[in-house]
């Protein structure tokens, strides 16, 4: 089992990826406790993915997008979804998950975000295929 400080670091990285901010210690500790209880075991391939993802927010975004398309049940995504669930359930981050009023021009932003997501997935597919080849 990994030690708690590793999970705290993961929580910081995942929280920053998901919300673009530094999350509070209470959520980091909840994530660390969840990881110790869940004891998610990685294959060699998943461990290589995770090590690549944890290095930067942009790599995390690309690999997550690709895994969403190719391997949605990957254990790496279980870690991301655990933190997402913690953040969604926390009153500290309610404003990030509740709907707001938007202008008509927001539809253009949605379109650009969609294009970015496709681009990230394409890059991510290249990355995960490369990692998969190295691990096999």
Task: Note the pLDDT tens digit of each residue in 101-110.
Answer: 778 888 898 8
Q: What is the pLDDT of residue 106?
A: 85
What is the distance between the alpha carbons of residues 109 and 122, in angstroms, rounded to a whole number?
Answer: 20
First to last CA, the chain: 25
Alpha carbon of residue 110 to chain centroid: 20
The per-residue pLDDT for 77 is 96
CA distance 60 to 17: 7
Check pLDDT > 80 for residue 2: no
For the stretch 112-123, what's the b/e string if a residue is b when 16 or more beta carbons lie within 10 angstroms of its beta carbon? eeeeeeeebbeb
CA-closest candidate to residue 60, choices 114, 99, 18, 108: 18
For 110-127, the pLDDT digits (tens) are: 899 999 999 999 999 999
Q: Please list, residue by residue across 37-58, b when 16 or more beta carbons sit within 10 angstroms of its beta carbon and e when fewer do.
A: eeeeebeebbebbbebbbeeee
Is-contact 77 67, C-beta < 8 A? yes
Q: Give me the domain span that covers residue 48.
A: 4-135
- As for how many domains the chain has, the answer is 1
């Amino acid at each position: 089992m990994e030690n708690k400080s590793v999970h705290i670091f993961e929580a910081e990285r995942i929280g920053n990826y998901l919300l673009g901010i530094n999350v509070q210690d209470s959520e980091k500790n909840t994530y660390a406790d969840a990881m110790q209880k869940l004891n998610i075991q990685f294959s060699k391939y998943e461990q290589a993915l995770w090590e690549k993802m944890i290095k930067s927010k942009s790599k995390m975004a690309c690999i997550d997008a690709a895994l969403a398309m190719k391997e949605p049940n990957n254990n790496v995504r279980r870690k991301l979804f655990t933190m997402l669930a913690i953040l969604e359930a926390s009153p500290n981050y309610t404003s990030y998950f509740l709907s707001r009023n938007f202008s008509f021009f927001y539809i253009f932003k949605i379109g650009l975000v969609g294009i970015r997501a496709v681009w990230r997935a394409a890059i991510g597919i290249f990355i995960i295929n490369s990692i998969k080849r190295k691990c096999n």
